[in-house]
Structure 1
Amino acid sequence: MATIMVAFGAALTLVVGHRFDWAPIPIVLFGCITVALFALLQLPLFVDMVRSTYWPRVFRKQSLRIMKPNNKKKKEN
């Protein structure tokens, strides 16, 4: 998304920048607004993904479970 906006802004600046000296200012502003909106709208999805993947492991104490063999034999009658 960011590279598309950079390429579009660069092309628009090359085409319009020589004719109008003030053209780069709105190009940069609109480019930054769209990238910021994209990042803001994707942030909740990223937070949910990280929370569902890593959150249970962060606060749960890790313990080693040692498997002990069952040495007790059943008594045969």
Structure 2
Amino acid sequence: MTLEGKYFKPKSLTWWASVTPLAGGLFMAFDPVHGLVEMSQVVRNISGGASAAVLINIGLAGIGIRGALR
């Protein structure tokens, strides 16, 4: 039995390319909780100034498209 499902594909480069902005967006969105303002700014600068919502949506869209093309 494998852990990989329709949307969880840790061996796929496309999956990692989608999970990375999703994780960055979630990190930025939870800035009031963890208080790492400087690190959130680093993620924002790396992403070209994209907001947390944009990164989360890009990540979810990429994972969804990856699962649909399966």
TM range (shorter): 0.3 to 0.5
State TM-score, norm by structure 1.
0.33
The structure, 1 or 2, with the larger RCO (C-alpha pairs under 8 Å, 6+ apart) is: 2
Q: Give the structure with higher Rg (CA).
A: 1
State TM-score, norm by structure 2.
0.35
